[in-house]
């Protein structure tokens, strides 16, 4: 069974996914429009979310659980099953073992969320597609979407969409 791993994420124009403190205030202000920028359509193609501990803990601060109808797996070596609720699973990694586990338990389409998770899948050559929405704001510093790589990663541009909000969304296939 083929397992597709993809990313759907927003960054500041200078490539940050959050402030250094992890705060997303700049993103919450920017996304106050009623346009979901294709998010619902993307989520309809996903059966499993894989996120890191920091992303999971941030989502918990939003109040109501954001993913009641999706399988969610937190990649963490510090959290245990007792630390999560809402049917969330915890897997300690490494990524290769997580991918095998997910494939063996029926996952077909992964949504990767969180900088460290995305960077890890990219470094290991297990990321298939990236959809990046650039928000027209410069943060100057913060948590970058991408980190160090051992080699270049070649991408094939699939499409770009501009929105009235000023957002620019581009989708790329990772060439292997």
| pLDDT the model gives residue 74 | 95
CATH of the domain at 143: 3.40.430.10
How confident is the prediction for the chain on average, in pLDDT?
A: 91
Domain that holds residue 108: 4-174
Which of 15-29, 32-46, 148-162 is least confident?
32-46
| pLDDT the model gives residue 31 | 61
| pLDDT the model gives residue 62 | 82
Which of 32-41, 49-58, 119-128 is least confident?
32-41
123, with CB counted inside 10 A (0-12, 13-18, 19+), is middle
pLDDT of residue 29 exceeding 70, the answer is no
pLDDT of residue 30 exceeding 90, the answer is no
Contact 139, 12 (CB under 8 A): yes
| pLDDT the model gives residue 51 | 95
d(CA 136, CA 138): 7
Q: Name the pLDDT band for 159 (thresholds 50, 70, 90).
A: very high
pLDDT of residue 81 exceeding 90, the answer is no
Average pLDDT, integer, range 72-79: 92
pLDDT of residue 84 exceeding 90, the answer is no
Q: Give the number of domains in the chain.
A: 1
d(CA 67, CA 123): 27
Q: Is pTM beyond 0.85 here?
A: yes
d(CA 119, CA 114): 9
């Amino acid at each position: 069974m083929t397992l597709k791993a993809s990313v759907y994420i927003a960054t500041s124009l200078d490539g940050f996914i959050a402030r250094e403190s992890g705060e997303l205030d700049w993103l919450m202000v920017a996304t106050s429009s009623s346009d979901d920028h294709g998010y619902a359509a993307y989520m309809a193609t996903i059966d499993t979310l894989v996120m890191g501990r920091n992303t999971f803990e941030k989502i918990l601060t939003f109040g109501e659980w954001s993913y009641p109808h999706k399988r969610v797996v937190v990649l963490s070596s510090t959290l245990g099953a007792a630390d999560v609720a809402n049917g969330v699973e915890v897997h300690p990694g490494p990524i290769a073992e997580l991918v095998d586990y997910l494939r063996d338990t029926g996952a077909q389409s992964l949504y990767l969320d969180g900088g460290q998770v995305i960077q890890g899948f990219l470094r290991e050559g297990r990321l298939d597609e990236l959809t990046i929405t650039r928000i027209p704001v410069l943060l100057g510093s913060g948590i970058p979407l991408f980190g160090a790589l051992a080699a270049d990663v070649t991408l094939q541009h699939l499409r770009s969409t501009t929105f009235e909000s000023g957002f620019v969304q581009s989708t790329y296939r990772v060439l292997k």
